[in-house]
Amino acid sequence: MRAAPITDPVAFHGEGPVFAGGRLRFVDMLAGDVLTLREDGGVDRERVGDVVAAMRPRVNGGLVLGLERSFALQDADGTLHVLDPVVPDGARFNDGGCDPAGRFWCGTMTDDEREGAASMFRLDPDGSVHHVFGGVTVSNGLEWSPDGSRAYYVDTPTRRIAAGDAELRDRRVFARVEDGLPDGLTVDADGGVWVALYDGGAVLRFTPEGTLDARVEVPDGGRVTACTFGGDRLYITTSREGLGDDAPAAAGAVFAVDPGVGGLPARTFAG
């Protein structure tokens, strides 16, 4: 399969796509912007901070976000409430998502990508923040199985997708990636796991048993960062970061493909 661009190169470092309320949203991470795809293929851009790593819809409207070092809540009217910083100096949030209980998980990386120095945090609907675990290097893609019993997680330098229980305990190797670095991931309605390959020019699908069974090429897309489903369509974000003048023409664009399987509704933050 081959994905095709559906936008111009609209992001320097596109990440964190989510489809909810009939629209695709994603982040231009290092610009601190949330982007919303319009029907004409353009995007509306809203700045929310110096960095925005991840966001998900809130159950009653608005967004929950992982900014550079803080969680934030945006109301339906656009009012932004930034919580106290939880990420230490020299590190930042990098990717995250909501679990079936409506909690927002977001992992970190250090500025120097120091091995084992990053962590996973969780914002609960009551506003409490929890340090869930440490010992990771570049915390990345995160999603749950259709029945919510299993979580899939990427610590990029390991070149592995890990699987654990719903609380990300008892993590084991689910699948290994040889061609490129695993980045953001999503899960389809059949339980298949789709992972973006940073520096790999593709998205891979693994069966619930961990067997590679599909590959989506992302031609001229630069660095492939993340993916999500909107109905039967798979949306893929890309990046120009670090590519300079040699960046492919479509780097930073959003790509899409209809892979023959549908996705799950976006999980929302319950607070």
pLDDT score recorded for residue 246: 86
What residues does each domain of the chain span?
4-257
User: What residues act catalytically?
Assistant: 183
Report, as an integer, the average pLDDT of 174-186.
Answer: 96
Predicted confidence (pLDDT) per residue in 201-235, tens digit? 999 999 999 999 999 999 999 999 999 999 999 99
Question: Measured in Å, how far apart are the chain's first and last C-alpha atoms?
Answer: 39
pLDDT score recorded for residue 70: 98
DSSP secondary structure string for all residues of 132-157: EEEEESBEEEEEE-TTSSEEEEEEGG
DSSP H or E run through 245: none
CA distance 224 to 134: 26
CATH number, domain 4-257? 2.120.10.30
pLDDT score recorded for residue 20: 96
Mean pLDDT of the residues in the chain? 97
**Strands of the sheet with 233-239, listed across from one edge:** 4-5, 254-257, 233-239, 223-230
Predicted confidence (pLDDT) per residue in 186-207, tens digit? 999 999 999 999 999 999 999 9
Confidence (pTM) = 0.97
47 forms beta bridges with: 33
Residue 2 has pLDDT above 90, yes or no: yes
Predicted confidence (pLDDT) per residue in 124-167, tens digit? 999 999 999 999 999 999 999 999 999 999 999 999 999 999 99
Q: Which of 24, 23, 6, 4 is nearest to 15 (CA)?
A: 24
The helix, strand and coil proportions of the chain, stated in percent and rounded to the nearest 5, come to: 5, 55, 45
CA distance 105 to 250: 30
**Strands of the sheet with 14-20, listed across from one edge:** 14-20, 23-28, 33-37, 43-47
